[in-house]
Amino acid sequence: MSLKKRERRVPNGARIIQEFPQLTLEQGLDFAISAKKAEGLRERTLQDYTKHFGYFTAWLNEAHPGVEFIDQISTQMIRDHVSYMKYDRTRYEGHKYIPTKEQTVGLSDTTVNIRLRTLKAIFNQLERDELIEHNPFSKVKLLRQDIDLTNCLTDDEVKAILAQPNRRDFVGFRDYVGIVTLLDSGLRISELLRLRAGDIDFQTRFIVLPGEINKNRKPRMVPISGHTAKLLLQLIEENKQFFTTDRLFMSSFGDPISPNHFNKRLKYYGEKAGVSGKKMTAHVYRHTWARAMVLNGADPFTIQKMGGWADMRTMRRYVQMNTDDMRKSHDEHSPTNKFIKVRK
């Protein structure tokens, strides 16, 4: 691919200044994708790069139709794009399955930050490869987000949800086993749905996750309870009667289940259980597992290892305590309990 180089005028006798190619928007994306592919990023991540960059360029074509090259993008344009996403972009616009009344205006801060991170990664890669002179994203910060203290399920909500699946039905039993496994192990939804019979050591009661299915590509061993191991073994035996694959979580036709489909099942059971005001996704179950492990006295470093977090700071975002948790913890562990005798 031939690249047009920008010409820079320099005074006579001045030192030679590095020249940078003038990349079109499409060429910039292609270079970044090629570099990331060489680094071993997963196909899904590369697809997100293309999709989010497509959202950005589609907006550029409308708001700044004269922009053709990467070096024409300014920091102010990016901030205008952030403002557009937050206040003007219609959520789920044109979606054929979501009613128009639910297509509200303004993307969530989480969605905006996800797209910003992707765009930052693309331009940072171009800067590292010395394909651009100035990185317009270097001065752009992510949106500040309020910490959501409602992203965990209470004990009563968990009990109500577990009572919903019809365990006499294949789909209901499969969903029940999946929910119990999430609550017992803290697996990511992608890790759960890719499980195969050979990934479970029933003798030691460990789920052995190979690196190729983990988010950080590192192999991990996750302990499970005897009850969960028994349910998984029953699901394997159930699958053997109808399917030849060793995959655990499948549809009634033996097809792999997508994360989106399983999250819809979780939402369905949450609505049946009367749980309101909370997102019903597998990620909420992961938060619930982490918080319960801490409240039950588990070592934070052990939780970090089981959850597969590379950084302790990441794990701490999952463990968000509500006021009842803090009150109970304070009353049990306050140092004043040692020095002040309470009258009965």
What is the model's pLDDT at position 27? 95
CB neighbour burial string for 63-82, b if at least 16 within 10 angstroms, e if fewer: eeeebebbbebeeebbeebb
pLDDT at 13 over 60: no
Which pLDDT does position 232 carry in this prediction? 96
Last residue of a domain, one of 78, 111, 128: 128
**Does some domain include residue 283?**
yes
90 vs 84, more confident: 84
The upper half-sphere exposure of residue 136, i.e. CA atoms within 13 Å in the direction of its Cβ, equals 15
Banded pLDDT at 174 (limits 50, 70, 90): very high
Which position has the higher pLDDT, 240 or 299? 240
Q: Say whether both 102 and 175 belong to one domain.
A: no
What is the largest distance, in Å, between two alpha-carbon atoms of the chain? 92
Q: Final residue of a domain: which of 128, 146, 181?
A: 128
Question: What is the distance between the alpha carbons of residues 144 and 157, in angstroms, rounded to a whole number?
Answer: 30
User: What is the CATH number for 78?
Assistant: 1.10.150
Radius of gyration of the chain (CA): 25
Indicate the burial class of 303 (C-beta count within 10 angstroms; 0-12, 13-18, 19 or more). buried
CA distance linking residue 297 with residue 318, whole number of Å: 16
Q: DSSP label at 155?
A: H
Domain match, 123 and 177 both: no
Report the side by side order of strands in the sheet with 206-209: 200-201, 206-209, 220-223
Statement to judge: residues 217 and 290 lie in one domain: yes
Instruction: Give me 320's structure tokens.
Output: 């968000």
Task: Say if residue 93 is in the same domain as residue 170.
Answer: no
The answer on 301 and 173 residing in a single domain is yes
149 DSSP 8-state letter: T
231 and 319 fall within a common domain: yes
Q: Give a yes or no: residue 41 inside a domain.
A: yes
257-306 pLDDT per residue, tens: 999 999 999 999 999 999 988 888 999 999 889 888 888 878 778 888 88
Range of the domain at 53: 20-128
Alpha helices (H) along 64-147:
75-87, 109-128
pTM of the model: 0.70
State both tokens at 215.
């988010």
Q: Which of 306, 311, 266, 270 is nearest to 290 (CA)?
A: 306
pLDDT at 320 > cutoff 70 = no
Position 279 in a domain: yes
The token pair at 190 is 């992608």
Query: Which pLDDT value is given to residue 10?
Result: 54
Pick the range with the lowest mean pLDDT from 64-73, 211-220, 298-307. 211-220
Q: How many residues does the structure list for the chain?
A: 344
CA atoms within 13 A on the CB side of 305: 9
CATH of the domain at 267: 1.10.443.10
What is the rounded distance in angstroms from the CA atom of residue 214 to the CA atom of residue 82?
31
Tokens of 25: 């928007």
Q: Has residue 218 been placed in a domain?
A: yes
Instruction: Verify that 176 and 303 share a domain, yes or no.
Output: yes
Residue 213 — very low, low, confident or very high, per pLDDT cuts 50/70/90? low
Both 113 and 169 in a single domain?
A: no
- Tell whether 196 is covered by a domain: yes
**Tokens found for residue 297:** 């006295």
209 and 292 inside one domain: yes
Same domain, 169 and 227: yes
Considering the domain boundaries, does residue 97 fall inside one? yes
Q: Are 236 and 197 in contact (CB under 8 A)?
A: yes
Q: Is pLDDT of 35 > 80?
A: yes
Q: How many domains does the chain fold into?
A: 2
Q: Which of 264, 261, 258, 321 is nearest to 288 (CA)?
A: 321
For residue 209, what are the β-bridge partners?
A: 220
Q: Decide if 70 is inside a domain.
A: yes
Same domain, 165 and 48: no
Tell me: do 189 and 290 sit in the same domain: yes
Query: Is residue 241 situated within a structural domain?
Result: yes
